[in-house]
Amino acid sequence: MNSDILPKQYKHEDHEEAIYAQWEEAGAFTPQATSTDPNKEPFSILMPPPNANASLHAGHAMYVIQDIMTRFKRMQGHPTVWFPGTDHAGFETQFVYEKHLKKEKKSRFQFDRETLYENIFDFVKQNSGLIENQMRRLGFSADWSQKTFTLDEHVIKTVHETFSKLAKDGLIYRDNYLVNYCPKCGTTFADLEVTHEDQTSPLYYVRYRFSDGEPRIINGEEIMYITVATVRPETIFADAAVAIHPEDPRAKALHGEYVLNPLTKQPIPIIEDEYVDPEFGTGMLKITPAHDPNDFELGKKHDLPLHVTINTLGKIDLEWHNPEQEPAKGRAEQLKTQFHNQSIFHARPAVVKLLEAENSLEKIDEKYQNKVTVCYKGKHTIEPLPYPNWFVNMEPLAKLGLEAVEQNKVELIPSRFVKQYQQWLENIRDWPISRQIVWGIRMPVWYNARENTNIFVSFLDTNGERHNLTLEKAYEAGFELVEIRAGLQSLIAPTETPFEISPESPGDDFIQETDTFDTWFSSGQWPLVVLKYPDGENFQQFYPTSLLDTMWDILFFWVARMIMLGTYLTGDVPFKHVYLHSMVTDSKGAKMSKSKGNVINPLDIVEKYGADALRIALVAGSAPGNPIALSEPKVKGYRNFGNKIWNIGRFIQISESEHGRSPAVSEVDANEFSAEDTKILNQLDELVTSVTENLEKFRFSDAALGIYDFLWNDFANGYLENNKDRTETDAYRATVSHVYFISLQLLHPFMPFVTEAVWQQLRREDRLLITSQWPE
């Protein structure tokens, strides 16, 4: 047999790397690759930026949806580009780097801020680039010449300018707002970045005695105290009131009364509020505005003092910053000696022990079911704390986000997510955009260090010794501002501190804010920074972009914020369609996890079965917003399908080696075509129409399964099997060739490697399949 005939089996490892190199060398990924009609509407997609030093996982493999649309639109002749990029992933990357430091028996506290930033940057550079090469393995046809990193200079410039505009428009403010603070991670988290986990906790019933020591008659019963249930007795230090529902039968008798804080022995009022759940505990609620988000709102409503007794290290702070809170001298010294600077973990049992000793603990329910708030990354317990923070007033931005979807400027797919989107924006809270970490875009905010000496600073002196004190104390100790700035690690400026916004220092007496922007704040401007708003050529040509594909779980984290910020800055939405896919699960629909042993590594699958098999397995049988079941047998089945495609090409090759090149359909007399020829040609025309329509409507599974069913059943098992005795006729050979090559074009967006490989082996034209014209 002719040595040029294809082997019986398609071996992906012999083709994929070489074919990808051909595509890149030919410039096939650029928007100029196929665009010849100036009237064709540009098509663009933004790649959700993965962590710069991440490794590919099953979620990233779902970017295949973006590649399918990119290849489809490129073949249709649209100026098409898929913009790639990577994210600095502020908290996650610093977390990984600090683990690296720990292995070297070092800590971030041994470095000034600038040095630590540069060290992390070097670490990221050394470990980045892996995921880009892994995406190449999957055949992703992104224009790598236009990749963006979220710490590129032009990105930082845009983020700074957005912040400045928001401030000028009155949408930025500072406040001692109660934030989700993680003492372990050392930063605040937005509401979207915390989760609530079920647990069993002791519920402590604590007695609050009346302030004058006299009994009260409540519902005909003489009592000396009221009882309040809490899972957090260590926060009693910060109690500002006790609340009761106004319709509670006891409320009238307790109106205007005061009880003693069981720990500080200071009087606190009993207030009425409908927020109180009469069914919880005793129907009375201790109000701790500084350490509970609901209590914080009640505190503002009833003008209660803010007593802070837990610090950012997660330790008890009994410096008694508020005179109203400070106990009598002897009691203050006792409590400070016993509890000050204790971790919450140790303070809680110690507080319980004191309450028992003073007959203030009535009982304990050891099996109370409650929820604890944890940070999304490390699952560490969140401590609600009042902290000077930077906020965006979201109300006017939310209106823009709502209008974008309600006026159909942005289509959410599937549409069932519209309601959730609306509910979230209609009930949106202001957004804390500052983070107490080093790795990220530093806020362009400056304070006058001579006029605001109450700013608290942490810094290393020239000998490497660490200091934590106010600027006033630092100056008194003989430190110069230049030394403080050089060794600066962090600062905390009171909320009322005047500030200036500028990318550069306003003068020698200024010190820069050490907070960085929340990663979602910078990535919320991804369409703008990628296209180089406002003057970039790509911005002029491709904004708004055509499609955003991402997982549904970041609809609020990321998608909504891009819509709001993009519309706010440009007056137009950043993309026209949002396709929300779901997580990839195992074959039984279970979430993949190492503990379950059901994790499927996409690169292992590619190594074993080829990229094509994995790609089509991820979309065939899937639906937007629903879990995507993946299993090795499913991938193996599509590997066999790829081999089927290969062998049909081999069959054509053998036929042509015996009978000569197959003629085109147009070269054969119409009367020579049999009924079966006409039927399969008509079925092909119907397939072209349906695949095109399905891709235009983002019905990827329908398109993939339609091609699969046609090629395997109608064409291979049907037409080819039923017409074996006609292999020498021109009509049959023309039909086979025509159906096959059109089918390769339809299948190419899903299975680019095997289709390109066999297209080149049986080449009918000089151009690559990737840049061939989509059939009509």
- pLDDT tens digits along 344-391: 999 999 999 999 999 999 999 999 999 999 987 678 899 999 888 899
Residue-level pLDDT at 453: 96
Query: 3-class DSSP state for residue 425?
Result: helix
CA torsion 747-752-758-759 (nearest 10°) is 80
Q: Which backbone phi and psi does 492 adopt, to 5 degrees? A: -130, 115
CB 35 within 8 A of CB 79: yes
Residue-level pLDDT at 190: 67
Write the single-letter amino acid at 267.
Answer: P
Burial group, residue 326, by CB count within 10 angstroms (0-12, 13-18, 19+)? middle
Instruction: Quote the CA–CA distance of 724 and 710 in Å, as a whole number.
Output: 18
Residue-level pLDDT at 95: 83
Residue-level pLDDT at 377: 65
Structure tokens at 640: 């066999």
- Nearest Cα residue to 732 out of 686, 684, 665: 665
Structure tokens at 52: 């710069």
Q: Give the model confidence (pLDDT) of 1-26 as tens digits.
A: 445 889 999 999 999 999 999 999 99
Query: 3-class DSSP state for residue 424?
Result: helix
Distance, CA of 114 to chain centre: 27
Instruction: Quote the CA–CA distance of 496 and 69 in Å, as a whole number.
Output: 51
Cβ-proximal residues to 58 (8 Å cutoff; 6+ apart), any chain: 583, 584, 592, 599, 600, 601, 602, 630
Query: 3-class DSSP state for residue 172?
Result: strand
Q: Which residues of the chain have pLDDT under 70?
A: 1-3, 35-36, 190, 192, 377, 594-595, 764-765
Instruction: Quote the CA–CA distance of 70 and 773 in Å, as a whole number.
Output: 14
Instruction: Quote the CA–CA distance of 534 and 566 in Å, as a whole number.
Output: 11
